[in-house]
Structure formats: structure tokens, C-alpha cells
Amino acid sequence: MKVSESPQQPNTAVMRGDVVPTLLAVTAQELPSQSGDLARARAFAEPLLANENLDTGENVMAHADAVAGILQAIGGSESMQAASYLVYTCEHLNKPFEVIAKAFGENFANLAVETTQLVRVQRLSRAASHGAQLNADPKLQTENVRKMLLAFSRDLRVVMLRLASRMQTLRHYAASKRPVPANLASESLSVFAPLANRLGIWQIKWEMEDLAFRFLEPETYKHIASLLDEKRTERESHMQALRTQLQSELVGKGVQAIVQGRPKHIYSIVRKMRGKSLGFDRVFDIRALRVVVPDVASCYEALSWVHERFTPVQEEFDDYIAKPKNNGYQSLHTVVRDALGAPIEIQIRTQAMHDHAESGVAAHWAYKEAGTKGYSGVSANSEYDAKIAVLRQLLAWERDISGRAQHHLQDKALFEDRIYVLTPDAAIIELPQGATPIDFAYTVHTNLGHRCRGARVDGVLVPLHTVLQNGQTVEVNAIKEGGPSRDWLNSELGYLVSPRAKAKVRAWFNAQITHENIAKGREAVEKLLQREGKTALKFDDLADQLGFKSAEGLFEVVGKDEYSLRNIETLLKPPEPALTPDEIVLLKKSRGPSKNQPNGVLVVGVDSLLTQLARCCKPAPPDRISGFVTRGKGVSIHRIDCSNFKELVRRDPARVIEVRWGQSKGGDASVYPVDVAIEATDRQGLLRDISEVFAKEKMNVIGVQTQSVKGIAWMTFTVEVSDSGLLQRVLMQVSHVRGVGSARRR
């Protein structure tokens, strides 16, 4: 049976239909408005709840009576006690808000409905504890549950109702001796008890911790209980005598002191033993007294007398009055040994300090949970902790004005930075304020975000830019394959808020460009291999021979026009035979100066040799150049940094020949074609704007190649220049054209 603290579904339709009008009539006529809210609420709920049981097996009406009693004991107002009945009627009403609002007012209706929603959230979270959890770290998931409970419960009375209800559920299990589900006991210990501690509701905290620990670790609980029971009567009688004697002697010394015993709870003992690696006999505060005096001077006067009267344990003294804890807690802590050598912890404080600590305003929970004394836990100095401190202030206000039924505590500013929503499996997802269903999808899984095409919030289909709210359940509608839209990156459209989600979308588009470059390069390499008759050659082998780790690495640089296919051609063609001695002599033989200097290049020692500018690197003055003697085509002129030329040199260094640029004659400067690669955001008029820059600088454009993919344009301009050094200045101007990301010479 799935454990829940919500009622089972009513057995008959009569409960939902015929009884409600009668209840309203009874409320309006037999229970006049001047009657107490508590009596009216109980009379309203009894016909609906008397024969219903919770999934725990407890009668719903008996549970509601007990919750009201717990709330009364911790100072809850009559309106809060009344709400304990109304909460459980929501499951039995067709329109709970409207019905309760008509009978009791919107304040009660809001309180009952919000508490019912929180019950649902916690029930689903417990059910999901055996399923898939999104957070690998259980501590993180638990802290998210705590945050969820507080963020979702804008009215603090909702939290107090839930604490009282859980306390009664644990009491019921203890009394009935029924087996307790581990996830319910664990949630009580890790979520509800710390929450009671944070809110300063100590009665609930101590009892809930001991009961939950008893259910989770029964053997350990029994062992510690047996140790405490040993000579219990003797110990209690000794402590009572010591308390009476200490108070009497302090008063006799002129110190108006009230000495109280301080009970030690089993879970607190176990936690200290484990946190400090202590044996039971080393837990000094099993015997503990608290001394409350009028002022600070009396604190130190009482301490002096205690240290004179007993033997102090020096290393166990802490002065939190002179040096308060970070959370504002103040008190003197000392451990002394009595005449029998037994350790006794004594705390000395003023009444104001005592009220400050016991009411929770001093954030006493930080000492117990944050590791100030060696325990592991969360930091007490975080922004979240500051918000909890404010919640405590609100709780104190609620108690001060408990008689005002219309009181409604909330402060939306407390949690403006984050929201907490649920997956359909009830896992809690933390998102930034203003997050949308797409943000949610990317937080759950990157691939789910890419494929997101719609969403339902609390079962209702909503637009993808809908702003999510605390406590909502979000379900993503996704296609089997696909990717994000570029509109999602447009901040004005409001699709994404999370920086992480935006980064994932950008990464997807970058990956698509890479895939397209790889496909383009693969196609070019395949065509080359077909042309050369090398289709049997494996791509990975070819890439390895060219120095690439994989075929995709080769395809990508080819597709981006960063690697010339001539490199592959050079690899595929067999090397030309080395020059014969006669050819070498011919090459080195000087034929005298020539009137013509082909292509403006002077070949040192062999002026009349045929020369040609290499198409792979397109050199132009004043590039550093070198020549390579080919067969039948004369000397091929390359830039020194040309990758093709480096490969030729590696294969046959004997064919390298020294060359330099010649001097132009007649005042007419020679021009040379060079390629310029430009990457830009595609837009209307982009080609015209770039061309105007070249025209303004009197550079003739003799060729243009463009390609646009997903809004990104890749352009290759072939321009004629007389001096490549001047090209850099022009490229700087091109890079300033709107949308241009990069402009470089290839």
C-alpha cells in the first residue's frame, strides 16, 4: 500500500454531491458566525471524515482532532486548529476552494487548498523515492525537498499544519505498532525535524527525531535507551537533588537563578557520538542543567561559583557571551565533575538569551546542523539561511497575532531568485526565476531540450515561453528527432532564461556546422579519390597518412577550406624520379640575364626558366617564397608556409630552388590573385557591403564563392593585389562590416 497522509477516496458519490449543500446549510444556520472557528470547522468536516481512513490506517477525524491538539500545544491560533479539519475535506469536495470560501472565507480556503497541494507534492516525492531520481547526491535531493517545502508554502501556517500532521502520523505508528515505511521515517528525520528546528518548534523537533530514529534504527535506539535506563532512577534523583542544591546555594550567594534540568534525547546522543566519534561514556551532557539569571554580570558570577563548587573540565568550556556564535547565540557552556567524578554540563544564560535561543530567532539550528562543533552539514552563512531567519520572524508574528483569523503570512520576495517544479515522476527540479518549459527540459536532459516541441503544466497545454511557478508539475512533449530553434536564443522572445540551456542550444548549432563541414569535406575527398581511381583506399588510412587522428578530422578541415585537396593529390601520385646529373647541370648552368622576368619572379642563376605561381597558396609580393622544379611545367612558386610546399620538400628536397621577387619595370606594378576567406552572419546586402570595401581600395575582385548554412555565410573572394602587405589593412576594414565575424587571407 502506498503510504500517504491524505485520505483515501470517498466510497460514495453522495459525499461529493448531496452532503455539501446540507453542510453549508448547517454552517449558515445552526453554527452562526459568532461561533468559534474551531467548532464550526469540526462540525463541517465530521460528516465527510468520520468514516474515512488515511492510508496509514488511522481514522481521518481522529487524525484531525490530534493535529488540532498538537497545534494548540505549540501555540497555534484557533484558526490554524480549525484549518486542520478543513484540509482533509478538500479531497471530498468537487470545488473545495469555492465551498470552503463560502462557508469560512477565502483565508481559510487558501490555507486548506495550499496545504492539500503540499500534501500531494510530498506524497509524490515519497513515491518517487523508489524510482528514478535526477539528483545522484541524496543530500542534494533532500535539501531540494526542504527548499521546495518552504518556497511552495508561502503561508507559514501551511508548514505548521504539515509538521503537526506528520508528528501525529509518527505517534500513530508508535501506538499501533504497525511497520513504518522507511521513506516516511527518513523524510521525517531529514526534512520535517530540521524544519521544526529551524522554526523553533522544539517540542515537535525532539519527539519527531526520536520517533523517526526509533523506526529507522530500532536496535541502536534500544541499545542507547538501555544505557540511559541503567540506574535511571538513581541518576534522576541525584540530578534533582543537585538542581535544588545548586539553585538554593546560588540564591544564598545573592544570585537570583532558576536552575532547570535539560532532558537529553536519544537521537541527539547518537548524533553527538557519531559526529564526534565518542563513546557513550564520553557524552558529557547526558547529565545537564541550565541556569537562567537576570543579567550578564550574574552569568559570570554564577559561573565563578560553579567552578569553585565543582571541578571544571577545562577543555569543555565555551564563552558564547563574550564571543557569540555567528548566528547570534549567546550562553556560557561548561562541563564540571561532581563529588563522584560524574560529568555534568551546565549552561548559564540570561532570560533574554534563553528566550532568544529557545524561540528560534537566534537560528539555533545552525549549531545543530552546520558543523560549528564538528558535525557535517550545510553552511550557516548562506543566503538561504538568511531567508530561513526571516521565516522565523514571520512565525513569531503569527503567534503574536494568533487571534486574528484573517491573518495571512507571506513574503514573495523571499524566494524570488529560484523556483522549484516537479517532473511527472515527482522529482524536484530547481530553476531560475522566470524559467520556461524549455529551461526545464534542458535541466532534465540536454537531448530532451533539443527535442522539446510543447509542454503541459499541471496537465494544461501551454506555450513554450510560459513562465513557470513554484510547485507546478511540468511534462515535456518531444519529437523523436530534431533540434532547437534559433528563435530560442532571441532574448526578446523569452524562450530561455537559464544560461546553461542557452549554452546547450549554441553548442547544438555549432555541432551542426561541424557536421555540415564534415559532410562537405567527405564529398570532396570522395570525388577526388574517384577521379584518381583510388576508391579502394580507406578513409582512416588516408587520414593517418596525412597526419590526422581520424577521417572526420580530415573531412572537417577540407570542408572548411582550411586544407587543400592538392595535399591528397600529392600523396596519391607516385613521386617523380630524381633529377639526372645532366638535368642538375642544366639547372645550375647560367644562361645570362634575361630581358623578361616571368610573373615578376627572379629565379636565382636560371633567369630564363619557365615559372608559375602555385594555385594552392597564391603567393604575392612581399610574401617569402621558394621554388620547386617540376617535370614539364618549370618552377612552381610557393609561399614558404604553404603546406603543399612543405610536403614537396619532404619528399624531394633536391628539387627546391631559391627564388625571389623581381623588380617591376616601366612603372606598371604587377598584380597577383589572392584568396580571402570571410565568415559572417548572413543578411541581405552582405555581399554588396563587402564588395564596396574592395572597390573603395581599388582592389579588383575576379571571383566570389559563397555558401550559407543555418544563417552563417562562408565567402571566398579572389582579389588582385600588387602587394600582399596592403591586404591586411583592407581585411581590417572588412572585419568591421556589420555581421562579419572573421576575414583572413587563405
Band the pLDDT of 32: cuts 50, 70, 90. very low
Q: Is residue 372 part of a domain?
A: yes
Say yes or no: 322 and 366 in one domain: yes
pLDDT at 484: 92
Mean predicted confidence (pLDDT) in 354-378:
41
Say yes or no: 536 and 560 in one domain: yes
Q: Is the pLDDT of residue 698 over 60?
A: yes
Strands 332-337 and 343-350: antiparallel
pLDDT at 140: 52
CA-closest candidate to residue 424, choices 444, 449, 406, 403: 444
Comparing 114-128, 238-252, 568-582, 720-734, which segment has the lowest mean pLDDT? 568-582
Domain that holds residue 726: 672-745
Strands 611-613 and 635-639: parallel
d(Cα 615, Cα 362) in Å, to the nearest integer?
A: 80
Q: Is residue 405 part of a domain?
A: no
Comparing 5-14, 472-481, 551-560, 669-678, which segment has the lowest mean pLDDT? 5-14
Say yes or no: 449 and 556 in one domain: no
Better pLDDT: 420 or 672: 672
Mean predicted confidence (pLDDT) in 531-559:
83
Domain boundary among 661, 695, 727: 661
3-state DSSP: the chain helix, strand, coil percent, rounded to 5? 50, 15, 35
Say yes or no: 42 and 175 in one domain: yes
Mean predicted confidence (pLDDT) in 265-287:
69
Say yes or no: 348 and 310 in one domain: yes
Say yes or no: 475 and 613 in one domain: no
Say yes or no: 655 and 698 in one domain: no
pLDDT at 188: 86
pLDDT at 577: 53
Q: Report the CATH number that the domain containing residue 722 is assigned in CATH.
A: 3.30.70.260
Q: Are 333 and 373 in contact (CB under 8 A)?
A: no
Q: Is residue 402 part of a domain?
A: no
Mean predicted confidence (pLDDT) in 375-402:
40
pLDDT at 66: 94
Q: Is residue 398 part of a domain?
A: no
Q: Per the omega criterion (within 30 degrees of 0), is the bond before 138 cis?
A: no
Band the pLDDT of 604: cuts 50, 70, 90. low
Say yes or no: 450 and 514 in one domain: no
pLDDT at 407: 37
Q: Is residue 410 part of a domain?
A: no
pLDDT at 300: 93
What's the number of domains the chain is made of? 6
**How would you class 16 by CB atoms within 10 Å of its CB: exposed for 0-12, middle for 13-18, buried for 19 or more?**
middle
Residues 6+ apart with CB under 8 A from 63: 54, 88, 165, 168, 169, 172
* Per-position DSSP letters for 459-521, written without gaps between them: TEEE-TTPPP-TT-BEEEEE-SS----GGGG-GGGT----HHHHHHHHHHHHHHHHHHHHHHH
pLDDT at 292: 93
Comparing 256-265, 373-382, 523-532, which segment has the lowest mean pLDDT? 373-382
Mean predicted confidence (pLDDT) in 544-548:
83
Say yes or no: 194 and 234 in one domain: no
Say yes or no: 178 and 270 in one domain: no
Q: Is the pLDDT of residue 131 over 60?
A: no
d(Cα 365, Cα 372) in Å, to the nearest integer?
A: 11
pLDDT in tens, 292-343: 999 999 999 999 999 988 889 888 899 999 988 755 678 999 988 887 777 8
Say yes or no: 427 and 546 in one domain: no
Band the pLDDT of 136: cuts 50, 70, 90. very low
Q: Whose grid coordinates read 501551454? A: 462
d(Cα 501, Cα 499) in Å, to the nearest integer?
A: 5
Q: What is the DSSP letter of 614?
A: -
Q: Is the pLDDT of residue 79 over 70?
A: yes
Domain boundary among 192, 216, 240: 216
Q: How far apart are the first and last CA of the chain?
A: 72
Q: Are 248 and 277 in contact (CB under 8 A)?
A: no
Band the pLDDT of 600: cuts 50, 70, 90. low
pLDDT at 149: 58
pLDDT in tens, 393-425: 444 433 433 333 333 334 444 445 677 787 887
- pTM equals 0.49
d(Cα 394, Cα 402) in Å, to the nearest integer?
A: 12
Q: Is the pLDDT of residue 141 over 60?
A: no
pLDDT in tens, 219-247: 888 887 777 765 566 667 777 888 888 88
pLDDT at 35: 44
Q: Is residue 2 part of a domain?
A: no
Q: Is residue 501 part of a domain?
A: no
pLDDT at 299: 94
d(Cα 376, Cα 500) in Å, to the nearest integer?
A: 30
CB atoms within 10 A of CB 467: 14
Total length of the chain: 746
Mean predicted confidence (pLDDT) in 153-178:
84
Q: Report the CATH number that the domain containing residue 461 is assigned in CATH.
A: 3.10.20.30
Burial track 560-599 (b if 16+ CB lie within 10 A, e otherwise): bbebbbbbbebebeeeeeebeeeeeeebeeeeeeeeebbb
d(Cα 147, Cα 156) in Å, to the nearest integer?
A: 13
The pLDDT mean for the chain works out to 75
Q: Is residue 401 part of a domain?
A: no
d(Cα 434, Cα 415) in Å, to the nearest integer?
A: 12
Comparing 79-83, 528-532, 608-612, which segment has the lowest mean pLDDT? 608-612
Q: Report the CATH number that the domain containing residue 130 is assigned in CATH.
A: 1.10.3210.10
* Per-position DSSP letters for 148-179, written without gaps between them: HHHHH--SHHHHHHHHHHHHHHHHHHHHHTPP
Say yes or no: 547 and 585 in one domain: no
Mean predicted confidence (pLDDT) in 358-374:
37
Domain boundary among 446, 470, 493: 493
Q: Are 165 and 71 in contact (CB under 8 A)?
A: no
Distances (CA, A) of 79 to 46, 85, 165, 192, 686: 17, 10, 16, 22, 70
Mean predicted confidence (pLDDT) in 141-156:
56
The cell numbers describing 80, all together, are 490554524
Range among 5-9, 146-150, 646-650 with highest mean pLDDT value? 646-650
Q: Report the CATH number that the domain containing residue 313 is assigned in CATH.
A: 3.30.460.10
Mean predicted confidence (pLDDT) in 78-83:
84
Distances (CA, A) of 63 to 110, 119, 120, 183, 437: 21, 15, 17, 20, 39
Better pLDDT: 149 or 519: 519
Band the pLDDT of 252: cuts 50, 70, 90. confident
pLDDT at 383: 41
